Chain A
Amino acid sequence: MSEIAHQDHIEKKAFLVNSSSLKDVRVFCREVFEKLHIQEDLKDELVLAIAEAAQNIVKHAFKNSASPTELMVVQISCENNKLQIAFYDRGTPVDPKKVKHREIDNVKPGGLGTFFIQEIMDAVEFKDGKKPWINHLVLTKQL
């Protein structure tokens, strides 16, 4: 847990649902974390977790075939030193019970994104997506 008191802050941005947007998601996160004065190592981890969650939307919720105008929204908020990252998308509804990473000792390509997210964040929660959204993922981390 950080000894720095981070200023309360909230910011959100919409991105096209495609793999080219992942870089933009990372840039957005880094800019927000700069404003929050989050230390470098933790910032790298958080950016990875957020980018993995965004990648899951592109790859799994939309199976790499979202319409060219389809959007996903990433919202980063910090309140009382608790960081919350919310994702909103209109892809295939996610069944949280089916979201699992591969066995880490069973070395093979794939299945690591969810593992990274769980390793880095304190909590991963799928909430009901309110219209017009279908999926609403919330990642939290105490700073």
Chain B
Amino acid sequence: MSYKVTEEGNISTVHLDGEIDMDVTEKAKEVIFPVIDSGKEVHLNLSQVQYMDSSGISVLIESHQRALEKNTKVIIKDVSKSVLKVIMMAKLEQILNLE
């Protein structure tokens, strides 16, 4: 998994690239959580993530819940069809902020 973080005004965008599984969840958290903790609105761009398993879904849930605790929000952008399918299988499409 690789990543890029961009900032524009009060929005930080985390672009993830690759497959998100148990092997990379800690790395994903290390990238995403500090951005959430900064208090900015976080956009998680998943357009280059073609595979995500239950561990990756857990990162999305944790990020969402962490953002609520910090009075900000995580918006998940440009989800690929394959990842959206997994999010929907987990019945999270109404819980997570998807755009």
Contacts and interface: CB of A to CB of B under 8 A. Distances in A.
Contact of A23 (B19, B55, B82, B85): B19
Given A48-B53, A107-B61, A112-B57, A58 B86 contact: no
B53 to A, nearest CB: 6
B32 to A, nearest CB: 13
B22 A104 contact: no
Interface in B48-71: 51, 53-55, 57-59, 61-62, 65
Nearest to B52: A48
Interface stretch (A71-79, A113-121, A132-140): A113-121
A44 B82 contact: yes
Nearest to B58: A109
A68 interface: no
A61 to B, nearest CB: 14
B54 A116 contact: yes
Size category of the binding interface on chain B: 20 to 34
A109 B91 contact: no
A26 interface: yes
A55 B55 contact: yes
A19 B25 CA distance: 11
A59 interface: yes
B90 A55 contact: no
A48 B61 contact: no
Interface string B74-91: 000000001001100111
B66 to A, nearest CB: 10
Given A19-B23, A22-B21, 14 more contacts: A22-B53, A26-B19, A45-B85, A52-B53, A55-B21, A55-B22, A55-B54, A107-B61, A107-B95, A109-B61, A112-B57, A112-B90, A113-B54, A115-B54
Interface of B: 19, 21-23, 51, 53-55, 57-59, 61-62, 65, 82, 85-86, 89-92, 95
Q: Which 5 A-B pairs have the closest CB atoms?
A: A109-B58, A112-B54, A19-B23, A113-B54, A19-B22
6 contacts: A22-B23, A26-B51, A47-B51, A107-B61, A109-B61, A116-B54
